[in-house]
Structure 1
Amino acid sequence: MVNRYHLAELNVGRLIAPTDDPRVAEFMANLDRINGLGKRMPGFVWMMEGSGEPGTGNTDAKIDGDPQYVANLTVWESVETLEKFVWGTIHKQFYERRQEWFEVLGEMHFVMWWVPEGHEPTLAEALDRLAHLKTHGDSDHAFGWSHLKEASQWRAGRCAPVAAE
């Protein structure tokens, strides 16, 4: 029997304002659109869902009790399928505008790791992986794009050096 693994990813951001503030209205208005696109992409496996309330994405999952932290936790069949969504769809346009809606955290806020097929990671599990990456750097336990030899598209679209990848 062959064990199959999928790629889990967590991306954490802190909005510059509460979710009902006009400064983040455009981002909030497009959450369902971008998340819906991700769910329809070839290779998409699973997404941590929020309340299901339209236009809220997963913004109700608080980190450290802070309502302005938003977390995106998904699972993909492969590096290539995640890259295609991140860098090869309209998602890239929103990613490139992230500074309009999110604070620059100045620390690592993105992590990936391999999960057994069928596993749906919890936010607590994902935050533990992020903490491990912050403490130990890239390893097979928790890593960023540069750790993946099969990753290619991120090199052209990655964060500026001031922000973590």
Structure 2
Amino acid sequence: MVAPLDQPVMKGFVDAIEHINEVAAGFYLATVRRRSGRGDPRRTTAVVNMSVWESVEALEGYVYRSDHIGVLRRRKEWFLPSEGPSFVLWWVPAGHLPKVAEARERLQQLAHSGPTATAFTFRETFSPPEPA
């Protein structure tokens, strides 16, 4: 982030969060969100947003064909360029609730190995694994 959440430069981002999360709710059924940055906004310098989606298509629709696109287009106002991937997709078994540490591992895997069936992006997706 370019500044902690309580700084004026971050106001547009902070003001958009609630609405964008409400928009997301219309795109998928069961969702579990994990977010960091809920502590003291004067010390928050990173935001982690995780959610579980029914399909890549549902997530892609939300990201690129909803009000979210307006926030995405403004991301350079609020976020510094990342040194590696800033997001990662992977399939999870029904009922599994990923932890932030798991997401960090998947980001590292994507950065190290590129897209694979266990860590990928919208540009190169993989089918979900066959049920056991």
Q: TM-score, normalised by structure 1?
A: 0.69
1:17 aligns with 2:11: no
Q: Where do 5+ consecutive residues of structure 2 fail to align?
A: 128-132
| Aligned counterpart, 2:81 | 104
Identical pairs, percent:
34
Q: 1:149, CA displacement in angstroms?
A: 6.7
Higher RCO (CA-CA < 8 Å; seq separation 6+): 1
Task: Verify the 8 A CA contact 1:46 1:120 in the aligned structure 2.
Answer: no
* Cα distance between partner residues in 1 of 2:82 and 2:61: 25
SS in 1 for 2:123: helix
For 2:77 and 2:22, the matched residues in 1 are separated by 22
Counterpart of 2:130? none
Residues of 1 paired with 2:91 and 2:126: CA distance?
14
Contact 1:45 1:74 in 2 (8 A): no
Counterpart residue number, 1:33? 19
Runs ≥4 residues deviating over 3 A: none
How many residue pairs get aligned? The number is 124
Query: Following the alignment from structure 1 to structure 2, what is the Cα–Cα distance between the partners of residues 140 and 49?
Result: 23
Give the counterpart letter for 1:111 in structure 2. Answer: V
Q: Structure 2 counterpart of 1:46, which letter?
A: T
Q: What is the RMSD of the two structures over their aligned residues, measured on CA atoms?
A: 1.9
Secondary structure of the corresponding residue to residue 138 of structure 1: coil
Q: Which has the larger strand fraction?
A: 1
